């Protein structure tokens, strides 16, 4: 999530609608993995039915793995083993990308869950979308989803990190975006759509706030970035499920 969230003050906000409320099934497991020199805590959502592949969901700036739990459960219900890690590096997107790449490598080698995994999709929200994009070149990644993504230019770089990575990504990609706002840095990642060579779809969700892309979101996000709407949230969820159906065959 964009840096605007850091300065948020406490306030009451409406709860997430029941249809999108995060389930809390007993089978969700919390594990700790050593990834690129970091101890990373992640939640594992076992796939319902035959395993179709693995999805790794990465949270936004100042957020945690729990803010994507609803999306994770929906993907698991669709037959996709889903992992939601707490990204190890707050400001270093390349560090997070290396950890994600290491997790993909562990999945493909069979070290993580006992049997090799051939198909992995990376999903990231806001700043997590940038980290996921930087890792999407990793062998075994068959699809990338950016949820209202964020991009950044580093002092020693002439071009934004994500835009440069997008130009060379051959993996198929889906972008689900909100209109410009301070929380997506005025749609700073919109140029990715024109740069991605294998773009499947770039979907602008009319009227969406940054918070519509989390599941569950919370009062902090709503106060900083705008209210949510069940119909818009469902569009995001539907996009994720369509991506899983396309890539996790």
Question: Structure pTM?
Answer: 0.90
Cα–Cα distances (Å) from 107 to 30, 39, 52, 66, 83, in that order, read 16, 16, 14, 21, 11
| pLDDT at residue 5 in the model | 34
Q: Which residues of the chain have pLDDT under 50?
A: 2-19, 21
Would you say residue 3 lies in a domain? no
User: What is the rounded CA–CA span in Å between residue 222 and residue 209?
Assistant: 8
Count of domains forming the chain: 1
Would you say residue 5 lies in a domain? no
Question: pLDDT tens digits, residue range 198-212?
Answer: 999 999 999 999 999
User: Which residue, among 175, 163, 79, 70, has the nearest Cα to 122 in the 3D structure?
Assistant: 175
Would you say residue 228 lies in a domain? yes
CATH number of residue 39's parent domain: 3.40.50.1820
User: What is the rounded CA–CA span in Å between residue 170 and residue 166?
Assistant: 9
What domain range is 108 assigned to? 28-247
CB contact at 8 A, 242 and 200: no
Side-chain-facing half-sphere of 133: CA atoms under 13 Å: 35
Would you say residue 4 lies in a domain? no
Rounded mean pLDDT of the chain?
A: 90
| pLDDT at residue 164 in the model | 96
Would you say residue 6 lies in a domain? no
Would you say residue 14 lies in a domain? no
| pLDDT at residue 112 in the model | 82
Would you say residue 20 lies in a domain? no
Would you say residue 101 lies in a domain? yes
């Amino acid at each position: 999530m964009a840096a605007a969230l850091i300065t948020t003050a406490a306030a009451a906000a409406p709860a997430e609608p029941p249809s999108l409320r995060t389930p809390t099934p007993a089978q969700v497991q919390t594990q700790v993995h050593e990834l690129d020199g970091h101890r990373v805590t992640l939640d594992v959502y076992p796939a319902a039915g035959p395993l179709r592949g693995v999805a790794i969901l990465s949270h936004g700036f100042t957020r945690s793995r729990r803010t994507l739990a609803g999306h994770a459960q929906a993907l698991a219900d669709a037959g996709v083993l889903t992992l939601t890690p707490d990204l190890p590096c707050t400001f270093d997107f390349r560090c997070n990308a290396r950890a994600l790449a290491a997790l993909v490598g562990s999945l493909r080698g069979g070290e993580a869950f006992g049997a090799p995994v051939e198909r992995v999709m990376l999903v990231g929200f806001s700043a997590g979308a940038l980290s996921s994009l930087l890792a999407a070149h990793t062998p075994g990644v068959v699809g990338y989803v950016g949820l209202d993504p964020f991009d950044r230019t580093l002092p020693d770089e002439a071009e934004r990190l994500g835009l440069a990575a997008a130009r060379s990504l051959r993996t198929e990609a889906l972008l689900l975006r909100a209109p410009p706002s301070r929380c997506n840095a005025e749609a700073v990642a919109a140029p990715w759509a024109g740069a991605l060579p294998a773009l499947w779809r770039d979907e602008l969700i009319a009227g969406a706030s940054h918070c519509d892309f989390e599941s569950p979101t919370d009062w902090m996000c709503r106060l900083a970035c705008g209210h949510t709407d069940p119909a818009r949230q469902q569009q995001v969820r539907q996009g994720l499920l369509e991506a899983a159906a396309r890539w996790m065959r």
